[in-house]
Amino acid sequence: MSQNNAKQFDDLKRFEAKLNAPFQSLKTSFRRDQVWPFLMPNETKANIDKNILLYIEGLNLSFDGFKALNDLNLYINQGELRCLIGANGAGKSTLMDVITGKTQCDSGQVYFGQNIDLLKQDEASIANLGIGRKFQKPTVFEQQSVFDNLELSLKANKGVLPTLWAKITPLQQDKIQHVLSIIGLSKQAYQLAGSLSHGQKQWLEIGMLLVSEPRLLLVDEPVAGMTPQETERTAELLTSLAGERTVIVVEHDMEFVRSIANKVTVLHQGSVLAEGSMQEAQSNPEVIEVYLGEEAATPAPKVKNPIDKANNNKVSLIADKGVKI
């Protein structure tokens, strides 16, 4: 073949390839072993091969120029019980808002396992992935029984309205009984939720999350307003939930944090200031400076109601450190 002919042949081949391209991709799409992208299931199972359930990297969020989250990095292991502490305004709730899809961040990454990009999901899909959040104020249906609250929550989670009127299956009934025993409300199952104590309502609300078998539980200030006995019981409850599930707790009551935390993360001005055991955090000069204040240096006298203690803590923070509340 002359050089001229060879070039013409190449051109012809290229032209043919170009003509065939759309048909090729069509052919590929129709291959029996090929799944069309739009038919591919959304990834719903977090890959935790590296034992990390939640990856947060370089998270930033500003409100009118104020950095609520500032290059925040946080890694939570599967089965961990992690406490998040920090003065009011440190960014704890905002962080939970971003993880649960309530608020969008400006930049950064949030992954559930190694594979699920939470920033690409909306609030409902994040909940469906197994991330449950308990807000500070309990929001139970006061006029319904404890059992009915759990039943409604179980059905509502299915996301299909007709199931609300369907009878629950024996399996679902067992699941509710199991959750009742975990939250310690088996005896109160047929009592109106409105008649429960504040602490019991908080446990019921945790139970309402548990019926949908979450992998990650985010709990915001669970013991505020609880009696010392209720606080102790909540510590036991949250500790028992970790392991099988992963739990992140935001709390102001340092005694409570001390009683449950293996590892605490101290947030300050939207960033992680320190991370480690409570003992390490307590002896970290920066943490003492911005958050723990004198409480860490000299243990405060025992206060009966932890909310008083939390408030004392806040007051001393304003007075001594000028930290924004």
Regarding 94 and contact with Mg ion (CB under 5 A), the answer is no
The window from 15-23, 91-99, 157-165, 181-189 that contacts ligand ADP (CB under 6 A) reads 91-99
Nearer to ligand ADP, 92 or 155 (CB): 92
Residue 68 interacts with which of Mg ion, ligand ADP, none, CB < 5 to 8 Å by class: ligand ADP
Regarding 287 and contact with ligand ADP (CB under 6 A), the answer is no
Residue 89 interacts with which of ligand ADP, Mg ion, none, CB < 5 to 8 Å by class: ligand ADP
Regarding 321 and contact with ligand ADP (CB under 6 A), the answer is no
Report the 10 Å Cβ neighbour count for 144.
Answer: 15
Strand ranges for 96-191 from DSSP E: 107-112, 116-117, 131-134
Regarding 93 and contact with ligand ADP (CB under 6 A), the answer is yes
Nearer to Mg ion, 93 or 231 (CB): 93
Q: What angle do CA 267, 103, 64 make, to 5 degrees?
A: 75
Regarding 93 and contact with Mg ion (CB under 5 A), the answer is yes
Residue with tokens 């399996």: 171
Q: Taking a C-beta distance cutoff of 8 angstroms, is the pair 287, 296 a contact?
A: yes
* Helical H segments across 159-284, by residue range: 170-182, 198-210, 228-241, 254-260, 278-282
CA separation for the pair 324, 269 (Å, rounded): 10
Of 94, 157, 234, 265, the one binding ligand ADP by CB under 6 A: 94
Residue with tokens 């602490």: 199
Residues 71-90 that bind ligand ADP (CB under 6 A): 86, 88-90
Which strands sit side by side in the sheet containing 66-77, from one edge to the other?
A: 66-77, 52-63, 107-112, 116-117
Regarding 290 and contact with ligand ADP (CB under 6 A), the answer is no
Pair of tokens at residue 279: 């003992």
Regarding 184 and contact with ligand ADP (CB under 6 A), the answer is no
Nearest approach, Cβ of residue 32 and ligand ADP (Å):
51
Nearer to ligand ADP, 90 or 140 (CB): 90
Residue 86 interacts with which of ligand ADP, Mg ion, none, CB < 5 to 8 Å by class: ligand ADP
Q: Taking a C-beta distance cutoff of 8 angstroms, is the pair 224, 253 a contact?
A: yes
Overall size of the chain counted in residues: 325
Residue with tokens 């709990």: 219
Residues at the site binding ligand ADP, with contacts judged by CB under 6 A: 63, 68, 86, 88-94
Residues at the site binding Mg ion, with contacts judged by CB under 5 A: 92-93
